[in-house]
Structure 1
Amino acid sequence: MLERKDIQEVKWGIIGCGDVTEKKSGPAFNKVADSTLIAVMRRDGAKAKDYATRHGVSKWYDNANQLIDDPDVNAIYIATPPLQHEDYTLRALAAGKPVYVEKPMTLNAASAIRMKEAAEKHKVKLSVAHYRRAQPMFLKIKSLLDAKAIGTVKLVQLQMLQPENSNLIADSDTNWRLDPTISGGGLFHDLAPHQLDLMIHFFGEAVKSSGISLNQGSPHGVDDMVTGHILFKNGVVFNGSWCFSVAEHVDICEIIGNEGKISFPMFGNKVTISKSGDDEEFIFDALPHVQQPMIEQVVKYFLGKAGNPCDADQAIQSMQLMDSFTKK
Structure 2
Amino acid sequence: MKEIKWGIIGCGNVTEVKSGPAFNKVKNSSLVAVMRRDGARAKDYASRHHVPKWYDDAMALINDKDVNAIYIATPPSSHESYALAAFQAGKPVYVEKPMTLNYSSALNMVKAANETNMKLCVAHYRRGQPYFNKIKQIIDDKIIGEIRFANLAFYKKQLSKEALELTGNKWRVDAGVSGGGLFHDLAPHQLDLMYYFFGQADYAKGVAINQSRFYNADDAVAGNIVFKNGILFNGLWSFSVSKDDEKDVCEIVGSEGSISFSVFNEQKIFLNRNGTTEVISFTPPQHVQQPLIEKVVDYFLDKGPNPSSGSDGAEVMHLLDAFTQP
Q: TM-score, normalised by structure 2?
A: 0.96
Equivalence for 2:313:
315
Q: Tell me the residue number matched to 1:271.
A: 269
Give the superposition deviation at 1:281.
0.8
SS in 2 for 1:142: helix
1:234 to 229, 245, 250: 229
Give the secondary structure class of the aligned counterpart of 2:271: strand
CA RMSD of aligned residues (A): 1.2
| 2:65 equivalent in structure 1 | 71
2:238 maps to 1:243 = yes
CA contact (8 A) 1:218 1:245 kept: no
* 3-state SS in 1 of match to 2:306: coil
Query: Displacement of 1:174 after TM fit?
Result: 4.9
Residue 296 (structure 2) aligns with = 298
- Name the structure 2 match of 1:27: 21
| Alpha-carbon distance in 2 for matches of 1:322, 1:218 | 21
The structural deviation recorded for 1:312 is 1.2
Equivalent residue, structure 1, for 2:211: 216
Pick from 23, 36, 39 the counterpart of residue 42 of structure 1.
36
Deviation, 1:201, is 0.5
Q: Partners of 1:174 and 1:196 in 2: how far apart?
A: 21
Q: After superposition, what is the alpha-carbon deviation per residue over 1:9-53, rounded to whole angstroms, capped at 9, x for unaligned?
A: 000000000011000000000000000000000000000000000
Q: Which moved more, 1:51-60 or 1:214-223?
A: 214-223
Tell me the secondary structure at the aligned position of residue 189 of structure 2: helix
Q: What CA distance in whole angstroms lies between the structure 2 residues aligned with 1:39 and 1:165?
A: 34
Which range moves more in the overlay, 9-18 or 311-320?
A: 311-320
Aligned to 2:259: 262
The equivalent position to 1:283 in structure 2, one of 275, 278, 281, is 281
Equivalents in 1 of 2:150, 2:24: separation in Å?
37
Say whether the 8 Å CA contact 1:216–1:225 is kept in structure 2: yes
AA partner of residue 247 (structure 2): V
Give the superposition deviation at 1:222.
0.8
Note if contact 1:13-1:76 (Cα within 8 Å) is conserved in structure 2: yes
After superposition, give the CA deviation of every residue in 1:178-229 in whole Å (9 maximum; x if it has no partner). Answer: 1000000000000000000010110001010100100001311210000010
Partner deviation per Cα, 1:253-294 (whole Å, 9 max, x = no partner): 000001000100001310010012100111111221100000
| CA distance in structure 2 between the aligned counterparts of 1:29 and 1:135, rounded to whole angstroms | 16
Shift of 1:249: 1.4
Amino acid at match of 2:262: P
Q: Across the two proteins, how many residue pairs are aligned to each other?
A: 319
- With over 3 angstroms needed to count, the CA separation of the structure-2 counterparts of 1:197 and 1:173, relative to structure 1, is closer
Contact 1:39 1:67 (C-alpha < 8 Å) held by counterparts: yes
Which whole-Å CA distance do the structure 2 matches of 1:258 and 1:54 have between them? 52
Deviation at 1:172, TM superposition (A): 5.0
Partner of 2:77: helix, strand, or coil?
helix
- Partner-residue secondary structure (3-state), 2:233: strand
Cα distance change, pair 285–172 in 1 and its aligned pair in 2 (3 A)? farther
Matches within 5 A, 1:1-328: 7-165=1-159, 173-247=168-242, 248-268=245-265, 269-328=267-326
Instruction: Report which stretch shifted further, 22-31 or 215-224.
Output: 215-224
Match of 1:4 in 2: none
CA pair 44-174 structure 1, distance change in 2 beyond 3 A: farther
1:104 shift after superposition: 0.6
Q: Tell me which stretches of 4 or more aligned residues in structure 1 moved more than 3 Å.
A: 171-174
> What whole-Å deviation, never above 9, does each CA across 1:284-309 have from its counterpart, x for those lacking one?
11221100000000000000000000
* Unmatched tracts of structure 2, length 5 or more: none
d(CA) in 1 for partners of 2:169, 2:143? 44
* Alignment correspondent of 1:3: none
SS class of match (2:7)? strand
